[in-house]
Amino acid sequence: MKRRDFIALIGGASVWWPLAARAQQPAKIPAIGFIGPSTASADLTRRAAFAKRLGELGWVEGRSIAIQYRWAEGVVPRAGEIAAEYAREKVDVIVVSGDAQVLAAKRATADIPIVIAAAADPVGNGLVTSLSRPGGNVTGLSRQLTDSTGKRLELLREVVPGVRRLAILFNAANPLTAPELNAAQAAAATLGLATVKCEIRRAEDVEPAIEALSGNADALYVCIDPLVNTNNVRINTLALAARLPTMHSSRDNIDAGGMISYGPDIADLFRRAADFVDKILRGAKPGDLPVEQPTKFELVINLKAARTLGLDIAPALLARADEVIE
């Protein structure tokens, strides 16, 4: 081979090899940034339902999709920090639940699509413009939390027919708990119940707040909140020691020792959140996807807690329960 032909061959190869290397590089797979409102253990069921549904929709984690999981551990500003981290990493979709956390994520990025796995009042708390036309970069699922508050109190009165004075535990540092607090107070008034506010702002407030209720309340209604969820075992243990039956909106809190819960099936909402992610990754705009309502509600009763409190739950109510924990 002549020297100039050899040089031409090498020169051509120097152009061809980078092109070939680029062609052989795997395409970037879509990335999802998941923000858990409390802790990894508390969000285990929800996370599993979300991941399983993505698999059913054809997404294989590590092969056709990448999922990062991070937890705010009950600290709302941390959700915003995590969202900002995901924005810097340029994930394709952020999944988050809880009104305050969604709002924090929305403030962190106006470009990356945000899917709400569950929020109490998406319109009232400024997460979306409307349920039918969310607009912007946010869509997902509403929990209809305030709409079902009255039903929770009716069920509580069935279990504790002698209830006259209801304590309502809420995180006063989170203004987005106000809709549920107001709904609980209004429903209690309709049922002729007096109410006592039980305010917490930090984990350190839980014990003194519940101990102060001893002798001043007949039952405890717990407003959902990241701080509450992170401390749910402690709240239920202290309530039981204070002889207070507890009513919750999520079965997670029954697994943590609460007495009764009625509300949307949260695992199902997280499962349906995966459908939103699928649609967005396939080209849909979040602002064009209507916010959906829960379709599955569940009544869960902790019979062990009721017996500890000396309460006899009517067989008819037990028969209506979706699950009874012995």
Q: Which domains does the chain have, with CATH numbers?
A: 31-144+265-296 (3.40.50.2300), 146-264+298-325 (3.40.50.2300)
**Per-residue confidence (pLDDT) for residue 120, from 0 to 100:** 84
- Where are the strands (E) in 25-124, listed by range? 31-36, 66-71, 93-96, 114-119
- The SS3 assignment for 44 reads helix
pLDDT of res. 15: 45
Alpha-carbon torsion 91, 96, 99, 100, what sign?
Answer: negative
- Half-sphere CA count of 261, side-chain side, radius 13 A: 28
The pTM score is: 0.82
Distance CA 125, CA 69 (A): 25
Under 8 Å between Cβ of 256 and 236: yes
**Can you tell me the distance from the alpha carbon of 164 to that of 179, in angstroms, rounded to the nearest whole number?**
23
Give, for all 326 residues of the chain, the pLDDT tens digit: 444 454 444 444 444 445 444 445 557 899 999 999 888 887 888 999 999 999 999 999 999 999 999 999 878 889 999 999 999 999 999 999 988 889 999 999 999 999 999 998 899 889 999 999 998 999 999 988 888 999 999 999 999 999 999 999 999 988 888 889 999 999 999 999 999 999 999 999 999 999 999 899 999 999 988 889 889 999 999 999 999 999 999 888 998 999 999 999 999 999 999 999 999 999 999 999 999 999 999 999 999 999 999 999 999 999 999 999 98
Query: What letter represents residue 264's amino acid?
Result: P
Question: Cβ(79)–Cβ(72) under 8 Å?
Answer: yes
Helix count (H) and strand count (E) of the chain?
Answer: 13, 12
